[in-house]
């Protein structure tokens, strides 16, 4: 086998609470993260040497600035294998959205390389490699519903998100993650994030409770003029709750009916840069069955 395709889902944050700073100035977080049915397709081909990357999206870096290239370099370093690969990314997840599209690509790359080079790494080992490439990469390898803490390196189990439908809106302008965190420090303002109440609602399989306790400490710091209007419009369109994901700029709404979600998606089409209907999924980067 010299070529493999991995399906790598995007994520949303049902919650994000900034709980401290580590000694590098990175923010310590407490988050409920959920993979959703919006997928990157990452195809990795074995090569003798070098790591190269191509994509249908012209706006992503193809050198070591790309987190998937960085992750591949780290894979070879970790395993001691002398090899290379070409990574092709079919992008569906918007960039600067807070949906970890780049980290999904990196997660996909690691999962593919493990199979191609028959290294049989455990998920924990893959996460160790991923963590060095970017904060969200370990969760994108594991996926499902998880309580993620530290700087993304501590992944704890969490009851599954109740059945629901999501409408995810990406506004015209994205948000840079470092800028959002820097702004958070300057603002010095906290949002109430009641993670334990959110987890209790998940435990009770209560989607209305989940919608009520979704919260994101970075909403103000992301400083996107689109956040509040989109949140309000999602509610007007029938969402039972709405919140920004990650460091933004995408905003999603939770719906209790597929019809309402589809109608809301139609409403937003043309009003925002892109809009998707999605569902929670219970997996992370996974080898595609047909390739």
**173 belongs to the catalytic site:** no
Question: Least separation, in Å, of the C-beta of 27 and ligand C5P?
Answer: 4
CA distances from 188 to 177, 221, 291 (A): 17, 9, 49
Q: Rule CB under 6 A: choose which of 66, 92, 145, 177 binds ligand C5P.
A: 177
Q: Which stretch binds ligand C5P (CB under 6 A): 115-123, 176-184, 230-238, 260-268?
A: 176-184
Decide: helix, strand or coil at residue 130: helix
Nearer to ligand C5P, 151 or 288 (CB): 151
Interface region with ligand C5P, contact rule CB under 6 A, candidates 25-33, 189-197, 215-223, 270-278 = 25-33
Binds ligand C5P (CB under 6 A): choice among 94, 108, 134, 209: 134
Residue among 39, 75, 181, 252 that touches ligand C5P (CB under 6 A): 181
Indicate which residue of 11, 91, 96, 146 is catalytic: 11
φ and ψ at residue 54, rounded to 5 degrees: -135, 165
| Measured CA distances, 147 to 30, 53, 221, 270 (Å) | 7, 32, 22, 34
CA distances from 170 to 200, 265, 281 (A): 29, 12, 20
Q: What is the β-pairing status of strands 3-21 and 215-216? A: parallel
Q: Return the number of the residue (4 or 215) whose C-beta is nearest ligand C5P.
A: 215
The yes-or-no answer on residue 65 being catalytic is no
For residue 174, which of 230, 233, 248 has the smallest C-alpha distance?
Answer: 248
Region of 88-96, 174-182, 222-230, 270-278 interacting with ligand C5P (CB under 6 A): 174-182
Interface with ligand C5P includes 29 (CB under 6 A)?
A: yes
Q: Are strands 165-170 and 286-287 parallel, antiparallel or unpaired?
A: unpaired
> Which tokens is 121 given?
């790494």
Q: Which of 17, 30, 114, 136 is catalytic?
A: 136
Q: Which residues bind ligand C5P (CB under 6 A)?
A: 26-27, 29, 134-136, 151, 177-178, 181
């Amino acid at each position: 086998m010299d070529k493999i395709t991995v399906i790598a889902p995007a994520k949303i944050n049902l919650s994000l609470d900034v709980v401290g700073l580590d000694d590098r100035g990175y923010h310590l977080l407490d988050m409920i993260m959920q993979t959703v049915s919006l997928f990157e397709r990452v195809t990795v081909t074995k090569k003798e040497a070098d790591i190269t990357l191509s994509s249908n999206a012209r706006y992503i870096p193809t050198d070591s600035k790309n987190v998937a290239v960085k992750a591949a370099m780290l894979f070879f370093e970790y395993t001691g294998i002398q090899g290379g690969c070409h990574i092709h990314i079919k992008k569906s997840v918007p960039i600067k959205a807070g949906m970890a599209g780049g980290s999904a690509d990196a997660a996909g790359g690691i999962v593919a390389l493990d199979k191609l080079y028959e290294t049989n790494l455990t998920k924990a080992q893959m996460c160790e490699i991923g963590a060095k490439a970017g904060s969200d990469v370990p969760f994108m390898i594991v996926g499902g519903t998880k309580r993620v803490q530290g700087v993304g390196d501590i992944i704890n189990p969490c009851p599954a998100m109740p059945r629901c439908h999501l409408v995810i809106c990406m506004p015209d302008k994205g948000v840079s993650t470092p800028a959002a965190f820097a702004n958070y420090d300057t603002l010095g303002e906290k949002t109430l994030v009641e993670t334990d109440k959110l987890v209790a609602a998940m435990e009770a399989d209560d989607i209305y409770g989940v919608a009520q306790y979704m919260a994101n400490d970075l909403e103000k710091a992301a400083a996107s003029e689109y956040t509040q209007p989109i949140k309000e419009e999602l509610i007007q369109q029938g969402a039972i709750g709405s919140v920004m994901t990650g460091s933004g700029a995408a905003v999603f709404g939770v719906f209790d009916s597929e019809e309402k979600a589809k109608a809301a998606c139609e409403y937003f089409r043309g009003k925002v840069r892109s809009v998707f209907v999605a569902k929670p999924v219970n997996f992370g980067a996974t080898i595609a069955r047909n390739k």
